[in-house]
Amino acid sequence: MAWVFVILGGFFETAFAVSLKYSDGFRRLWPTVSFMVCAVVSFALLTVGLRDLPVGTAYAAWTGIGAVGTALVGMMWFGDPAEFVRIASVLLIVAGVVGLNLAGSSAH
C-alpha cells in the first residue's frame, strides 16, 4: 500500500508543477491555489509512504514520477521539444527508479 501513496504523490507532484506554469508567477489565483493544494497532498502522500519504504527509494520514485510526468506534459501540451535526447533522458529516469526498486526496496 505504501507504493500506492508514493505513486499518487508523484502524480500530484506533476500536477503542482503544471499548476505553477499556469499560475504565471503566482499572479493567477486558482492555479496558485491548485499548486498549494497539490503540493500539500503530494508531500502528505510521500510522508505516508515513507512509513514503510526506505527514504532513498521512495523519494527517488516520487521525484522520478514527478519529473517524468512533468516532462511528458510539457512535451504533449506545452510544446516543449520532444527530441531524442529528452525522451532518452526520461527513459533513464524511469530506469533509475526501477533499478533502485530492484536493488532492494524492502530493506529499511
In the predicted model, what is the mean pLDDT of residues 58-76? 96
Taking 70 as the threshold, does the pLDDT of residue 106 lie above it?
Answer: no
Taking 80 as the threshold, does the pLDDT of residue 7 lie above it?
Answer: yes
Q: What percent of the chain has pLDDT over 70?
A: 95
Task: Identify the pLDDT of residue 87.
Answer: 96
Please give the residue that has the higher pLDDT: either 97 or 26. 26
Cβ burial, residue 41 (10 Å; 0-12/13-18/19+): middle
**pTM for the structure as a whole:** 0.88
Taking 90 as the threshold, does the pLDDT of residue 61 lie above it?
Answer: yes
Q: What percent of the chain has pLDDT over 90?
A: 86
Average pLDDT, rounded, for the chain? 94
Using one digit for the tens of pLDDT, what is the confidence trace for 28-60? Answer: 999 999 999 999 999 999 999 999 999 999 999
Query: In Å, how far from its chain's centre is CA 71?
Result: 10
